[in-house]
Amino acid sequence: MDLLDWAADLEEAFRAASIQQHRQQGEATFTTHCVDCDEVIPAPRRAALPHTTRCIDCQQDEEKRQ
């Protein structure tokens, strides 16, 4: 296992732990600002996607990277 594989495994483990923690809390964590650009996430987007953490532009950029 090289360094990149190790880093990917570590990231996956942290992500899984974070998801599990949110599920155990029982309530959604709502955010009003994008985690990437810190701009306000428009209210209609938050209403349609209560768990969103990114504005539309940043979400599209993230999906392009994946």
Residue type, 23: R
- In tens, the pLDDT along 19-38 reads 777 766 655 557 899 999 99
Each domain of the chain, given as residue ranges in start order, spans 1-27, 31-66
Alpha-carbon separation of residue 7 from 26, 30, 31, 49, 64 (angstroms):
30, 29, 28, 30, 21
pLDDT of 25 reads: 62
Average pLDDT for 61-66: 94
- In sign, the C-alpha dihedral spanning 33, 44, 58, 26 is positive
Map tokens 């994946």 to a residue. 66
The answer to pTM > 0.85 is no
For residue 33, what are its two tokens?
């600002």
For residue 31, what are its two tokens?
């955010």
pLDDT of 29 reads: 56
